[in-house]
Amino acid sequence: MLVGALADAGADRDAIAQSLDSLSTGAQVSFERVKRRDLTATKFHVTVMEQPKHRHLNHILRIIEAATLPERVKQNSAAVFQRLAAAEASVHGVPIEKVHFHEVGAADSICDIVGACLGFHLLGVETIYTSPVNVGSGTVETEHGTLPVPAPATAVLLRDRPIYARGPAMELTTPTGAAVAAALSSGFGGMPPMSIDKIGYGAGGKDFREHANVLRILVGQATGASEATTVFVIEANIDDSNPQVLGFTLERLLDAGALDATLQALSMKKGRPGVLLSVMTTAEHRETLAQLIFSETSTLGLRIYSAERRVQPRDWVEVETPHGKVRIKVSGDGSFAPEYEDARKLALATGIPLKQIFNEASFAYLKNSR
């Protein structure tokens, strides 16, 4: 589906076919325009003659290295297979060099992974972001027998990434697809600010009734604009934790990737005083932070909901004060503020009151910006 989507977005199909032929796996590839529900998409076909299905990692890496491929494509393809091998080794409790790839070692899966890496290269894609992943549900038949969805290797590969299940009770994300996302994506969650240049739809083999069985890619340029982004808010009402524990929890949450974390006084039922712990986070860190709250506080339940976050563009300017350098955060509308940690370090090092450091840094910024 990913190779089909990349070709649909404009990746040269002949170049993909010729490069995959250089893998010498005996596979033949082709592209077909199809419909899934009401959407037109590109289906990537791989036809394979009788081939050995069991390969080790070193066999696959040798196939990739010997092919006529750009060096970056070889590196990315190898990285995907190494990530996949590590997941399989973890699941089966064997050294990575002993992993048998079974289905994923077959020629069609090699074409899928290398074709995806090549498609990104042909489109000039430098950074990849992935939305939350629909893994499906139910069970899947494999050479290891009937397994729950997501398959064990898929679950390992997508650990700490946002996943969900919607649609028919079947496998919707394979270990191959999960390995590509895990190895190549710079982030999982909401769409980053961008201007869209190309759109591609890759078709799956089945046509579902519930939704169009397609994978969509959007290719464009980062804008750096202050567009709205989707974040998650995690909340808990707490009335029986040590205040020092809660303060420590805030520090740990921020260190673990929270965008913001606050405590607010509450009057709870039966007149008990309490606090509202509120944490803002991206989808990528949501589960990690939720588990951290459970481990560090006494709460037995959390509320998690999505919210729209809008931020102004900001920049950093460094100014010189009589006591040392301080960074100034400057927003798009011209407002500014000295960076607390910089000012704090100077205040501790010099014995100068913190408010004086703030004032001198602000004066230096205003003087320099005239």
Domains of the chain: 2-222 (no CATH), 229-308 (3.30.70.1380), 314-369 (3.10.20.300)
Tens-binned pLDDT, residue by residue, of the chain (370 aa): 999 999 999 999 999 999 999 998 888 999 999 999 989 999 999 998 766 557 788 989 999 999 999 999 999 999 999 999 999 999 988 888 888 776 555 788 899 999 999 999 999 999 999 999 999 999 988 877 899 999 999 999 999 899 999 999 999 999 999 999 999 999 888 788 788 999 999 999 999 988 999 999 999 998 765 556 778 999 999 988 899 999 999 999 999 999 999 999 999 888 889 999 999 998 889 999 999 999 999 999 999 998 888 777 778 999 999 999 999 999 877 889 999 999 999 999 999 999 999 999 999 999 888 7
Q: How far apart are CA 368 and CA 352, in angstroms?
A: 23
Task: Specify the pLDDT at position 334.
Answer: 83
Q: What share of the chain is helix, strand, coil (3-state, %, to 5)?
A: 40, 30, 30
pLDDT of residue 224: 62
Query: What pLDDT is attached to residue 225?
Result: 59
**In 2-70, which residue ranges form alpha helices assigned H by DSSP?**
2-8, 13-21, 57-66
Q: Report d(CA 28, CA 18) in Å as an integer.
A: 10
| Interatomic CA distance for residues 355 and 284, integer angstroms | 37
Spatial distance between the Cα atoms of 365 and 328, rounded to a whole number of angstroms: 7
pLDDT value, residue 188: 87
Strand partners of residue 141: 146
* 3-state DSSP of 72-103: HHHHHHHHHHHHHHHHHHHHHCCCHHHCCCHH
pTM of the model: 0.66
Predicted pLDDT of residue 312: 74
Burial class (CB in 10 A: 0-12, 13-18, 19+), 126: exposed
pLDDT at residue 187 in the model? 87
